[in-house]
């Protein structure tokens, strides 16, 4: 590398490192707000988050940054970068171009609003008070519409949002994939609900000590290979994982005294996200490539651990005894098989994050369709509860008794994350397709799980997915790992095989 190029690279890296520092601090401020920051400090905290987000934003679209990007756009200079360096420049350039047209003042107002709005959402959800939350959400949507204009409208306005979470994803593609999936899942869901077999779940309706739940979550996370010296587990209203830096990837869960499964599976889920970020190649630290490849790929890792491993027979053959030891009183008379059937019970229910693997995708399709209406078809925020409720009635045959259990259940919209939900179903599809390959390459997979020997799985995923971070696109990853482009049939195959066996269809 020529001296001039290496000097420019050095300075560029320093600027990027500085920007990453803001994001680490903002990550901690957010984590703190969600895990127990005192109520009376949240207004000033929101303002502080807004101010620092704006500073980070300004650096990202600064003249200095523009000059670096221009310098590295020159083929003479770019030619001296290695592949990773080029990816890093491309990633930064994408953010730069996305954001440089947003006036910093507008961005600041938006950041403050989004932060306040998340706090208001928590209250509104608790009190089922959509009216109290509506003014905030209306402003958030208006901001997003304004930002879409800044970012540039793709085929449709909503396409612009989809692309931000999953590069190159379009309404056209999602419509096609969801149609193909629906064609196989709808008859399956129908057959399951017609089945005379109903798993017994009465034994889950007991009180389970929260201290014991916490111990069991920590135990399972340890078994997965989650490194507690590079992370911590806390509690929040809505469970999440956050990678603050490569040595500090935190997760939260939510303990319900009358629902022992909720924390178990949300810990496995967030643990899957965290395992990904804890095992990204350390040489990417301090760059934006030290994160998941996309929301969809990230979600594939949480789903793989939560559902495909965590709700499998071999998994509970190994761990049900441990669970019984944590709750001898409640579970002593429950058989392994009954427990397995219970954790896989299919039920048309109200809450997405508590939904079973099979109907889960319907929860996503509802949200996807509503967001499409909101951004492409003139639906107003005021109408959301009504549309939400009628879609739940239509797709799942049930009606939320209040907005806390309905339209207010998810955190995403309060933070402006529209276009995100589709990634969850993509995640299921990526996961099923990867599992298919994993099973081919590791024919004794079920035996390993049954032995509680989960390390080889973590190693395989590290080798194939985790370590790459964001140095590859989702399409590149799925093709490299499985030899094929995304194919929703793997998910349909997996779900059919599993639920036909369980429901004796």
Q: 37 in helix, strand or coil?
A: coil
Query: Contacting its own copies (CB under 8 A), which of 286, 310, 406, 416?
Result: 286
Spatial separation of the C-alpha atoms in residues 59 and 65, rounded to whole Å? 7
Regarding 24 and contact with its own copies (CB under 8 A), the answer is yes
**444-450-455-457 Cα dihedral, nearest 10 degrees:** 50
Spatial contact of 1 and 12, defined as CB atoms under 8 Å apart = no
Q: How many CB atoms lie within 10 A of CB 107?
A: 21
Catalytic residue among 118, 122, 166, 270: 270
Spatial contact of 217 and 264, defined as CB atoms under 8 Å apart = yes
Using CB under 8 A, which of the segments 30-38, 88-96, 368-376, 463-471 binds its own copies? Answer: 30-38
Query: Contacting its own copies (CB under 8 A), which of 34, 45, 311, 372?
Result: 45
Going across the sheet that includes 248-253, the strands are 233-235, 248-253, 241-245
Regarding 105 and contact with its own copies (CB under 8 A), the answer is no
Regarding 25 and contact with its own copies (CB under 8 A), the answer is yes
Regarding 51 and contact with its own copies (CB under 8 A), the answer is yes
Spatial separation of the C-alpha atoms in residues 478 and 408, rounded to whole Å? 34
Regarding 441 and contact with its own copies (CB under 8 A), the answer is no
Query: Contacting its own copies (CB under 8 A), which of 6, 41, 380, 480?
Result: 41
Q: Does the annotation flag 436 for ligand binding?
A: no
Q: How many CB atoms lie within 10 A of CB 297?
A: 25
Query: Contacting its own copies (CB under 8 A), which of 10, 40, 205, 328?
Result: 40
Task: Check if 83 is active-site.
Answer: no
Spatial separation of the C-alpha atoms in residues 266 and 149, rounded to whole Å? 36
Q: Does the annotation flag 369 for ligand binding?
A: no
Regarding 288 and contact with its own copies (CB under 8 A), the answer is no
Regarding 10 and contact with its own copies (CB under 8 A), the answer is no
Give least dist CB 108 to its own copies, A. Answer: 11
Give least dist CB 462 to its own copies, A. Answer: 16
Q: Which of 30, 21, 471, 17 is nearest to 250 (CA)?
A: 30
How buried is 448 (Cβ within 10 angstroms: 0-12 exposed, 13-18 middle, 19+ buried)? middle
Q: Does the annotation flag 238 for ligand binding?
A: no
Task: Name the residue with tokens 């005379």.
Answer: 196
Residue number with CB closer to its own copies (45 or 303): 45
Task: For the segment 197-256, give every residue that binds its own copies (CB under 8 A).
Answer: 227-232, 244-248, 250
Interface residues toward its own copies, by CB under 8 A: 17-18, 20-22, 24-26, 28-29, 32, 36-45, 47-48, 51-52, 55, 227-232, 244-248, 250, 285-286
Q: Annotated catalytic sites, by residue? A: 270
Q: Which residues are annotated as a binding site for Zn(2+)?
A: 269, 273, 299
């Amino acid at each position: 590398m020529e001296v001039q190029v290496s000097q420019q690279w050095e300075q560029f890296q320093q600027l990027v490192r500085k920007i990453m520092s803001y994001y680490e601090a903002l990550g901690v401020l957010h984590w703190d707000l969600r895990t127990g920051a005192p109520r009376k400090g949240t207004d000033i905290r929101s303002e502080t988050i807004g101010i620092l987000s704006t500073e980070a934003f300004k650096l990202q679209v600064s003249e200095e940054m523009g000059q670096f990007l221009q310098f590295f756009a020159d083929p003479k200079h770019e030619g001296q970068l290695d592949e990773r360096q080029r990816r890093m420049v491309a990633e930064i350039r994408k953010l730069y171009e996305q954001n440089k047209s947003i006036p910093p003042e507008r961005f600041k107002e938006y950041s403050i609003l989004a932060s306040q709005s998340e706090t208001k959402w928590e209250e509104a959800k608790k009190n089922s008070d959509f009216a109290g939350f509506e003014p905030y959400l209306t402003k958030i949507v208006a901001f997003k519409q304004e930002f879409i204009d800044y970012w540039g409208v793709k085929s449709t306005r909503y396409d612009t949002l989809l692309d931000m979470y999953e590069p190159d994803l379009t309404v056209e593609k999602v419509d096609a994939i969801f149609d193909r999936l629906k064609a196989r899942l709808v008859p399956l869901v129908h057959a399951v609900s017609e089945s005379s077999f109903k798993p017994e779940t009465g034994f889950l309706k007991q009180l389970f000590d929260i201290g014991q739940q916490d111990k069991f979550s920590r135990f399972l996370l340890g078994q997965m290979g989650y490194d507690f010296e590079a992370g911590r587990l806390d509690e929040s209203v809505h469970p999440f994982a956050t990678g603050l830096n490569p040595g500090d990837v935190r997760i939260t869960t939510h303990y319900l005294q009358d629902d022992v499964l909720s924390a178990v599976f949300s810990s496995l889920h967030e643990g899957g996200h965290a395992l990904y970020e804890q095992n990204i190649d350390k040489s990417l630290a301090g760059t934006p490539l030290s994160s998941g490849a996309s929301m969809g790929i990230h979600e594939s890792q949480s789903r793989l651990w939560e559902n495909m491993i965590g709700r499998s027979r071999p998994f509970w053959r190994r761990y049900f005894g441990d669970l019984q030891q944590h709750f001898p009183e409640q579970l002593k008379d429950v058989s392994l098989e009954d427990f397995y059937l219970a954790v896989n019970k299919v039920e048309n229910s109200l809450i997405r994050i508590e939904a079973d693997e099979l109907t889960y995708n319907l929860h996503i399709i509802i949200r996807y369709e509503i967001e499409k209406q909101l951004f492409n078809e003139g639906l107003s925020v005021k109408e959301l509860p009504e549309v939400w409720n009628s879609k739940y009635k239509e797709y799942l045959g049930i009606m939320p008794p209040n907005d806390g259990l309905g339209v207010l259940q998810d955190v995403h919209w309060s933070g402006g994350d529209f276009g995100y939900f589709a990634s969850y179903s993509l995640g299921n599809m990526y996961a099923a397709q990867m599992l298919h390959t994993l099973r081919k390459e590791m024919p004794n997979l079920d035996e390993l799980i049954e032995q509680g020997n989960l390390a080889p799985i973590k190693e395989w995923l590290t080798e194939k997915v985790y370590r790459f971070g964001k140095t590859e696109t989702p399409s590149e990853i799925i093709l490299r790992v499985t030899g094929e482009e995304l194919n929703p049939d793997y998910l349909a195959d997996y779900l059919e095989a599993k639920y036909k066996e369980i429901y004796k269809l």
